[in-house]
């Protein structure tokens, strides 16, 4: 699937030029005429890279950049701010505003393409790292649930099987005892779930001795 680029500029000539030049290299290009429509397009198309003019009506490029970088789903889009501004203060403002790169008009085709390719490489790496972190978190949670819940769940299942198998011969007092054991272990599982949902600063511990695999430490202070 072709990587996608969003071009945002209120100058129709710039939009058309960038669209033609970049689509020639196989990229999927989307366009918008200002920051407001650019933000909407970014949410809809989830581009890998955004090239935006700085000075535009309704919402300027830097304002749009800040909103995109604050959005969990769009934050990894590489953002190149395109502008005629070229002072040191302008560059600092652009970087502090969340822009990943800064390209001055008029731009050189080779420089534009080099920056786009570099930006897309960085965007890919960020997404890969995010996916690995997500996969690691899911694995650690699964290990934690398996380790912490398996024991009380096993006891509950055993007690219920005993009741089912011997229900006609077990005295009421024995059945009550088994039910109380099930309730106790059910409460243990409920407490584990509560701890999982209220962890503010998760800490980890090895799942097995001398193992790199980790699980959540539910006994942390």
Provide the strand spans (E) within 84-137: 101-104
pTM of the shown model: 0.62
Contact predicate 32/17, CB 8 Å = no
Q: What is the pLDDT of residue 124?
A: 81
Residue reference for tokens 């830097």? 62
- Neighbouring C-beta atoms of residue 59, cutoff 10 Å: 16
> What is the arithmetic mean of pLDDT over 27-50?
94
pLDDT tens string 55-83: 998 899 999 999 998 888 888 889 999 88
CATH classification code of 4-107: 3.40.50.2300
pLDDT band at 134 (very low <50, low <70, confident <90, very high): low
Encoding tokens for residue 176?
């009550």
Strands of the sheet containing 78-83, edge to edge, are 28-32, 4-8, 49-53, 78-83, 101-104
Q: What percentage of residues in the chain have a pLDDT greater than 70?
A: 80
Q: Could you tell me the residue ranges of all domains in the chain? A: 4-107, 138-216
């Amino acid at each position: 699937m072709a990587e996608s680029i969003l071009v945002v500029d209120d100058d129709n000539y710039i939009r058309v030029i960038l669209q033609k030049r970049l689509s020639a290299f196989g990229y999927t290009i989307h366009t918008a005429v200002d920051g407001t429509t650019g933000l909407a397009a970014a949410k809809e198309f989830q581009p890998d890279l955004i090239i935006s003019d700085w000075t535009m009506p309704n919402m300027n490029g830097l304002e749009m950049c800040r909103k995109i970088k604050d959005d969990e789903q769009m934050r990894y889009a590489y953002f190149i701010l395109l502008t005629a501004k070229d002072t040191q203060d302008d560059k600092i403002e652009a970087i502090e505003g969340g822009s990943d790169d800064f390209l001055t008009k008029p731009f050189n085709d080779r420089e534009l393409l080099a920056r786009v390719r570099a930006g897309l490489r960085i965007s890919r790496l960020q997404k890969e790292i995010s996916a690995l972190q997500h996969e690691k978190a899911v694995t650690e949670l699964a290990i934690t649930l398996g380790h912490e819940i398996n024991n009380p769940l096993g006891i509950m299942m055993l007690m219920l099987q005993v009741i089912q198998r011997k229900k006609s011969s077990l005295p009421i007092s024995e059945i009550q005892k088994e039910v109380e054991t099930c309730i106790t272990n059910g409460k243990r599982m409920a407490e584990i779930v509560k701890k999982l949902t209220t962890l503010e600063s998760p800490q980890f511990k090895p799942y097995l001795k001398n193992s790199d695999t980790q699980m959540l430490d539910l006994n942390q202070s």
